A and B are shown apart, each in its own frame.
Chain A
Amino acid sequence: MDSQNPCEGEISLNQWKGGNSVREVRHGSRGGDLEMLGLSQKEIGDDDARLVYLNEPVKSNERYEFSGNSIRTSKYSAFSFLPRNLFRQFHRVAYIYFLIIAVLNQLPQLAVFGRGASIMPLAFVLSVTAVKDAYEDWRRHRSDRVENNRLAWVLVDDQFQQKKWKDIQVGEIIRIQTNETLPCDMVLLSTSEPTGVAYVQTVNLDGESNLKTRYAKQETLPRIPEKEMINGLIKCERPNRNIYGFQANMEIEGKRLSLGPSNILLRGCELKNTAWAIGVAVYCGRETKAMLNSSGASSKRSQLETLMNFETIILSVFLIVLCSIVSICAAVWLRRRRDELDILPFYRRKDFAHGDPKDFNYYGWGLEIFFTFLMSVIVFQIMIPISLYISMELVRVGQAYFMIRDMILYDEDSNSRFQCRSLNINEDLGQIKYVFSDKTGTLTENKMEFQRASIWGVDYSDGRTSSQNDPVQGSKIDGKILQPKMKVKVDPQLLELSRRGKDTKGAKNVHDFFLALAACNTIVPLVVDDRLDSTVKLLDYQGESPDEQALAYAAAAYGFMLTERTSGHIIISIQGERQRFNVLGLHEFDSDRKRMSVILGCPDKTVKVFVKGADTSMFSVIDRSLNTNIIHATEAHLQTYSSMGLRTLVIGIRELNNSEFEQWHLEFEAASTAIIGRAALLRKVASNVENSLTILGASAIEDKLQQGVPEAIESLRTAGIKVWVLTGDKQETAISIGYSSKLLTSKMTSIIINSNSKESSRKSLEDALVASKKLMIVSGTTHNTGPSDEAAVNPVALIIDGTSLVYILDSELEEQLFELASRCSVVLCCRVAPLQKAGIVSLVKNRTRDMTLSIGDGANDVSMIQMADVGVGISGREGQQAVMASDFAMGQFRFLVPLLLVHGHWNYQRMGYMILYNFYRNAVFVLILFWYVLFTSFSLTTAITEWSSMLYSIIYTALPTIVVGILDKDLSRRTLLKYPQLYGAGHRREAYNSKLFWLTMIDTLWQSVAVFFIPLYAYWASTIDGSSIGDLWTLAVVILVNLHLAMDIIRWSWISHAVIWGSIIATFICVIIIDSVPIFAGYWAIFHVAKTELFWLCLLAIVAAALIPRFVVKFLYQYYSPCDIQIAREAEKFGSPRESPNTKIETNPILGSPHG
């Protein structure tokens, strides 16, 4: 994320401080509060407010409406587990279908299967899930207990005593020691620091490891709760989940103070670098912001599953058709025999045994038919493959396991593994058509390095040496030398200048320039021991923006070392001389102003405002009448810098005279204590003071490309994936990064759209469309026909900026933009704000069925990550927010290539085949049952025993498809990376589409016919009994479906062998066991029938007859109309005759970089 970059990052930065991190320390709430009184009361009405009386928990919670501090993350208690867990599980439609079937089967009129047998599959699935849930919940119970029993120091009877967390109440005063975790949300009252600052680490809350500063109010600061009673009332908003906002006011000794997010410490944070802090609990337990934020995340559903649902509906229609056929036939049969039914030996309607002959078990014609229908639903229930849903989940877990374990996806630098945060969309990775990428931190490393500076119109960039050789003298603390933690290479000439003090004009500008770099930021310097050298103390600059860190380190390297920051002042050691600057005011970055400023009271009693910001925003506030040639020179330098892909910032300065300062100060006070529209007011105050600046110069920071990015982008493009880069950077920077990352190539024609009104956007779009069409005609091919187009034709790149997008998105121009963009192989959007990123993603997502993927690393990418079909987070240097919002997370952009091209491809192929196979597997079984029903006068007898029916999808055939779904590989990793075009199979939906579905269903029909009718006619008019032929059918269908799968397995490892042959053997064993129970009708049937040659000949004939058509079609298709995957597979095995023979097969693991 580009925190320092005007468009992109400020949002997060600004938000964290809530836009009102007002340094009130010196000029603190003196007058502003009173005038804001009325306002604030309006803001938080009594109804909506929570009143917290300091140190009076009982009074605070008079009405018992605040929750205590004990938390429960567990979902169930011992008693509620069963009902609630079941309720949760039955949210799935498939389970309800399952349940209805089981319930129907319990009605005696409809009982087809025994009670146990019919409940078993559902019970099996439910109990497996329940056991898993119970285990997880037990762990949560355990961690809750640990959490609730932690101890904290709470003020009781004017003394701090240890109290368990769960007993803490709203209104109590709590003391936290350094490195302790906060037990609840509390308003900071005082800290060990005289300025009232406290540092917290919010890593548990949002994953950011940087220290955040929090402030206690001046009024409460000096009080020591043990000695003097603090009485006061905090009126705050009701508990909400916004962890970055807090609105309240505190009434203390008749004064009313406003409180903001910078005054509150949240549960889960850790106190750092502060000896102690005292606060008053305002939200406890489940009402804390951390807990309120722990509700479920939205889940995505894979496209394959969505497609599959359509086929599931088709299968339901099949099911209804089958059931209707059976019931209509049954109706006709009953009608024709209605006169015989009374004493039919196999029907016997009349019961003569008990007095008057009555109808026995006969419900009348209509009802009989109705029951027949319902019974047939029960018998044919597995037409809808419920086991498929469970298998898919298991397969996804398995696939995730292999993705996580993949060594290629492990990033050594950040020591992070691949993360699979969402388990529903693995297979979508194989169909991505659009990749939306953030630039900074994603394509680049986000390790900012100060590269060049333009000061007062002079460019300093040559002859850089390491500052290491030249430690800055004199900056010592406790007799130890203070050094910045990070070394920056310096320009000797500039270093020389910077050391010269302020004597010359040039030197003065250099001095001010570096002073601005050191002061105009929100960096917190921390002094840490050097592990290697005990005489040296290291200065660690903690800050939320890597750009600021880079600038501060650069300033330190040139002798302007920021050594201390409190809320009231900063200390900068200038060439070894400690100087104190009073921070009179600080206007944080926001995406609107695109700059920040600090107002410093310098040691020489002058008041200066230092401003740094994006060039566009800065040049509008720089006094152009002064130093025109300097401005021109700087502009020229900026041009050079950004064309080199450097990130630039412009720095300006103005000295404030007394009246200006007073005016600003009044406005600032008023704005910063306002509750309504505080941010807007502050912004206004800021822009009032940030004008008529004198330009000092500009800085250029390099953001290095991540390793392997150009190769990765090239692979993705070869794979037919369109890569769009959405960045907040300037157009020039974006384009130069585009070139260096090979996103743009010299062969491309680029179309640039920069408009600042709707009309001009429309016109540019129209022109661009015409131009792009012309280009396509020139290159002589239609563009949208295949995945190979990018390679074949002269590609077009579209570069568009955020301002144009403002006019285009959400208007009728969207359509044109999409049309244009879909013709371009590359789209580069610069200067885009976070919401626009999401808008661009949705532009594509809503208009095509193609899959979109967003990849980013920062908070500004969260919206786009959530918007895309697949969101990938880079777990990089900049917090965890993107990762938290993502479906998959990894360490480097280049991992996208193995992730999509290898794992995505595998996942898609596996899952697609698995769905088809499961449809087939269940349908073939149902059809066999159906054929038999036609021979039993439609009375729904099953020759296959009920136990075999139930075990069919649990034992007989379940494991092989899951194992194949997890392990089978159509192509090796090496081949997939060598030919990225193979990824096109996913785009063309080759593994699963409705043509394949219908082909499979035709095949299913034939196979069921073969299985059913071969034994039927072979045993026609023989003495065969139902159980024996039933066993034959059972074994035949199980062997058949397993061999069918075996025929499609591509890689036969020992595991595949084990499960396929194991399943067949297991089936034999199960059938033998079932036939060994004397009270079953089929007792000993298998032993009896398996003694005959006919039985085995039937099995052989069935397998051959059923599989030969499929085999023939498969062969013809593979040989005469091969798909790319097929050819690549052959080449992988036999080697291509056109290539050198050493690229034969994967013999050794590919451990290095996929591109290396």
Chain B
Amino acid sequence: MAMPSFLEEDTTLIDVNRDDPSSSSEGGGSDGDDKSILAHEIESKKPPTYSRFTQQELPACKPIITPKLVIVSFTLIGFLFIPIGKTALSASNNVVEIAKRYDMECIPEIYSNNILHYIQSVGTNKTCTVKFTVPKHMKGPVFIYYQLTNFYQNYRKMSYGVPLRSRIKDTKYMGSRSDRQLTSKAYEGAELEKCEPLEKVGEEPIVPCGLVAWSMFNDTYSFSVKDKALIVNKTNIAWESDKETRFGSDVYPKNFQTGDVIGGAKLNSSIPLSEQEDLMVWMRTATLRNFRKLYGRIDVDLEANDEIAVEIQNNYNSYGYGGEKLLVLSTTSAFGGQNKFLGVAYLTVGGFCFFFAIIFAIIYHFKRREIGDTAYLSWNRNPVGYYMK
């Protein structure tokens, strides 16, 4: 036989042929008469019925990017963005902001080599006075912020280390707190494990528990202009929602800051949490390692060249981690505080749009292609070997 190998294979082939059709009758993974849903659908012998949907002919709009459209829309974006940018920029420029770093200034000379001792001791006098001049008229209300740097309030720290605890919750520094505990007295003992190691004293729960509350900022400021004290309004510095819902009016601080290491502020245990606005502000953890938090408001205007004296209780230990402390007074605008970024960003985007619009217009003027001209189709261009280039 001239083709033995072929013939042999031929016979095996037949088996393959014969086996497979019925095996593939299984279709989508099932058997016999019971094919997968889709296969079942197929079996129906009815002709498909017409609908615009099934024939994929739903009415539709088919936008096409044409040069004119691009030039017009870029111009429009430019016209929209540049005024916004200018407004934002001027709003930022109108904001008067005084930022005064005081952490090093407030260390007495004698402790300059032993800062940690100074700040950690209970007995040392931590009062210090800082003075600065108002550069421009500041229209009230003037917001008072404290600013901390290098404080990673967004740090994710594993909050406890017992392996495979039954209830595992959030585990950041940000999460070292029990939000449930704060809402109502009934939940005082709720979700304490999230707060470890600052969850209990003996068997009593700490309220508020956790690293976040424990590390609360506790410098205080009092302001005076020309020896006349300025009233600092510390109400309504926290969110309404926090006061109403999140911090319970029947929850009182308990066992707070009683451990060996004091992290920061102590709370008056006779005032319910719903009135502890400083705590609420602190508990809104910041986005970045450097952040500002609202301290209070001065509701009167500050005149230019006023010299303001601030008496600071420099309690908070930012020295242990190399952070700075700043006191910030700032007016505000519709776009927040003093920040040129957004204005610049808008001007840039708007500028680019104008730029592109002009460039496109020029290019379009000199080099254009007829939209939809089928002569540009690859097989219509230069019939002999367009692809040779």
**Residue B293 at the A interface, CB < 8 A?**
yes
Query: Would you call A294 and B32 a contact (CB within 8 A)?
Result: yes
22 contacts between A and B (CB under 8 A): A15-B18, A107-B164, A111-B171, A290-B22, A294-B31, A346-B152, A400-B38, A402-B54, A415-B45, A782-B388, A806-B2, A834-B17, A859-B18, A881-B17, A935-B288, A1019-B287, A1022-B292, A1052-B60, A1079-B179, A1111-B70, A1130-B371, A1149-B50
**Residue A78 at the B interface, CB < 8 A?**
no
Considering the complex, which residues of chain B in the window 26-76 have a beta carbon less than 8 Å from any beta carbon of chain A? Answer: 26-34, 36-39, 41-42, 44-45, 47-48, 50, 52, 54-67, 70
* Interface-lining segment among B220-228, B259-267, B269-277: B259-267
What number of B residues sit within 8 Å (CB to CB) of A? 153
**Residue B313 at the A interface, CB < 8 A?**
no
* Interface-lining segment among A406-414, A564-572, A739-747, A948-956: A406-414
* Interface-lining segment among A211-219, A249-257, A1101-1109: A1101-1109
Query: Would you call B241 and A863 a contact (CB within 8 A)?
Result: no
Query: Would you call A981 and B378 a contact (CB within 8 A)?
Result: yes
Query: Contact check: which of B145, B377, B387 meets A1128 at CB < 8 Å?
Result: B377
Q: A1097-B88, A1097-B342 are in contact. Are A1052 and B62 (CB under 8 A)?
A: yes
Query: Contact check: which of B26, B28, B349 meets A1108 at CB < 8 Å?
Result: B349
**Residue B25 at the A interface, CB < 8 A?**
yes
A185 to chain B, nearest CB (A): 13
The 8 closest A-B pairs by CB, nearest first: A1130-B372, A884-B21, A1084-B241, A345-B215, A786-B387, A73-B31, A1051-B60, A293-B22
A417 to chain B, nearest CB (A): 6
In the assembly, what is the distance between CA of A1133 and CA of B237, in Å? 58
Considering the complex, which residues of chain A in the window 1028-1051 have a beta carbon less than 8 Å from any beta carbon of chain B? Answer: 1029-1030, 1050-1051
Query: Would you call B22 and A243 a contact (CB within 8 A)?
Result: yes
A809 to chain B, nearest CB (A): 8
Query: Would you call B211 and A346 a contact (CB within 8 A)?
Result: yes
Contacts of B64 in A (CB 8 A): 1129-1130, 1133-1134
**Residue B232 at the A interface, CB < 8 A?**
no
**Residue A244 at the B interface, CB < 8 A?**
yes
A418 to chain B, nearest CB (A): 8
Contact with B along A588-614 (1 / 0, CB 8 A): 000110000000000000000000000
Query: Would you call A1025 and B285 a contact (CB within 8 A)?
Result: yes
Q: A345-B321, A782-B385, A967-B56 are in contact. Are A863 and B174 (CB under 8 A)?
A: no
Query: Would you call B377 and A404 a contact (CB within 8 A)?
Result: no
Query: Would you call B174 and A1081 a contact (CB within 8 A)?
Result: yes
Contact with A along B320-337 (1 / 0, CB 8 A): 111000000000001111
Query: Would you call B386 and A788 a contact (CB within 8 A)?
Result: yes
Query: Would you call B55 and A406 a contact (CB within 8 A)?
Result: yes
Contact with A along B200-233 (1 / 0, CB 8 A): 0100000000010011000000000000000000
A283 to chain B, nearest CB (A): 15
Query: Would you call A1134 and B48 a contact (CB within 8 A)?
Result: no
In the assembly, what is the distance between CA of A426 and CA of B175, in Å? 48
Contacts of A504 in B (CB 8 A): none
Contacts of B45 in A (CB 8 A): 415-417
Query: Would you call B287 and A1024 a contact (CB within 8 A)?
Result: yes
B46 to chain A, nearest CB (A): 8
Query: Would you call A1026 and B38 a contact (CB within 8 A)?
Result: no
What number of A residues sit within 8 Å (CB to CB) of B? 169
B118 to chain A, nearest CB (A): 16
Contacts of B289 in A (CB 8 A): 935-937
B242 to chain A, nearest CB (A): 8
**Residue A617 at the B interface, CB < 8 A?**
no
**Residue A555 at the B interface, CB < 8 A?**
no
Considering the complex, which residues of chain B in the window 285-304 have a beta carbon less than 8 Å from any beta carbon of chain A? Answer: 285-294
Considering the complex, which residues of chain A in the window 231-250 have a beta carbon less than 8 Å from any beta carbon of chain B? Answer: 241-245
In the assembly, what is the distance between CA of A401 and CA of B57, in Å? 14
In the assembly, what is the distance between CA of A1118 and CA of B63, in Å? 13
**Residue B151 at the A interface, CB < 8 A?**
yes
Contact with B along A984-1019 (1 / 0, CB 8 A): 100000000000000000000000000000101111
A858 to chain B, nearest CB (A): 10
In the assembly, what is the distance between CA of A294 and CA of B346, in Å? 66
Query: Would you call A1078 and B174 a contact (CB within 8 A)?
Result: no
Contacts of A361 in B (CB 8 A): 157-161
Contacts of B157 in A (CB 8 A): 346-348, 361, 939
Considering the complex, which residues of chain B in the window 340-389 have a beta carbon less than 8 Å from any beta carbon of chain A? Answer: 341-342, 345-346, 349, 352-353, 356, 360, 367, 369-379, 383-388
Q: A343-B320, A1078-B245, A1087-B241 are in contact. Are A781 and B17 (CB under 8 A)?
A: no
Query: Would you call A1021 and B22 a contact (CB within 8 A)?
Result: no
**Residue B198 at the A interface, CB < 8 A?**
yes
Contacts of B18 in A (CB 8 A): 15, 206, 242-244, 859
Query: Would you call B154 and A806 a contact (CB within 8 A)?
Result: no
Query: Would you call A937 and B152 a contact (CB within 8 A)?
Result: yes
Considering the complex, which residues of chain A in the window 385-414 have a beta carbon less than 8 Å from any beta carbon of chain B? Answer: 397, 400, 402, 404-407, 410, 412
List 15 extra interface pairs beyond A345-B317, A421-B24, A1112-B356, CB under 8 A: A11-B17, A268-B32, A294-B25, A296-B26, A347-B155, A406-B54, A417-B45, A787-B379, A1018-B341, A1019-B336, A1025-B287, A1026-B153, A1087-B241, A1092-B336, A1094-B342
Q: A345-B321, A423-B38 are in contact. Are A862 and B286 (CB under 8 A)?
A: no
Query: Would you call A834 and B388 a contact (CB within 8 A)?
Result: no
Contacts of B171 in A (CB 8 A): 108, 111-112
User: Most chain-B CB neighbours within 10 Å: which of A937, A1026, A1134?
Assistant: A1026
Q: A785-B387, A863-B16, A1055-B58 are in contact. Are A346 and B42 (CB under 8 A)?
A: no
Residue of B nearest to A15 (CB): B14
User: Most chain-A CB neighbours within 10 Å: which of B30, B259, B289, B337?
Assistant: B30
* Interface-lining segment among A96-104, A349-357, A451-459: A349-357
Residue of A nearest to B84 (CB): A1097
In the assembly, what is the distance between CA of A704 and CA of B223, in Å? 104
**Residue B13 at the A interface, CB < 8 A?**
yes
B371 to chain A, nearest CB (A): 5
* Interface-lining segment among B3-11, B101-109, B122-130: B3-11
B135 to chain A, nearest CB (A): 18
In the assembly, what is the distance between CA of A1055 and CA of B52, in Å? 13
Query: Contact check: which of A363, A412, A1137 meets B373 at CB < 8 Å?
Result: A1137
B263 to chain A, nearest CB (A): 6
In the assembly, what is the distance between CA of A1023 and CA of B289, in Å? 12
* Interface-lining segment among A135-143, A522-530, A537-545: A135-143
**Residue A1136 at the B interface, CB < 8 A?**
yes
Query: Would you call B56 and A969 a contact (CB within 8 A)?
Result: yes
Query: Contact check: which of B23, B70, B320, B372 meets A293 at CB < 8 Å?
Result: B23
Query: Would you call A884 and B336 a contact (CB within 8 A)?
Result: no
Residue of B nearest to A14 (CB): B14
**Residue B256 at the A interface, CB < 8 A?**
no
Contacts of A109 in B (CB 8 A): 158, 161, 163
Query: Would you call A1136 and B168 a contact (CB within 8 A)?
Result: no
Residue of A nearest to B370 (CB): A1137
Contacts of B386 in A (CB 8 A): 786, 788
Query: Would you call A346 and B320 a contact (CB within 8 A)?
Result: no
Contacts of B288 in A (CB 8 A): 935, 1016, 1020
**Residue B115 at the A interface, CB < 8 A?**
no
Query: Would you call B179 and A1080 a contact (CB within 8 A)?
Result: yes
Query: Would you call B5 and A810 a contact (CB within 8 A)?
Result: yes
B196 to chain A, nearest CB (A): 8
**Residue A114 at the B interface, CB < 8 A?**
yes
Query: Would you call A1131 and B374 a contact (CB within 8 A)?
Result: yes
Contacts of B59 in A (CB 8 A): 1053
In the assembly, what is the distance between CA of A880 and CA of B285, in Å? 69
Query: Would you call A781 and B215 a contact (CB within 8 A)?
Result: no
Residue of B nearest to A881 (CB): B21
Contacts of A967 in B (CB 8 A): 56, 58
Q: A244-B18, A405-B48, A1108-B352 are in contact. Are A884 and B25 (CB under 8 A)?
A: yes
A908 to chain B, nearest CB (A): 15
User: Most chain-A CB neighbours within 10 Å: which of B3, B25, B33, B290?
Assistant: B25
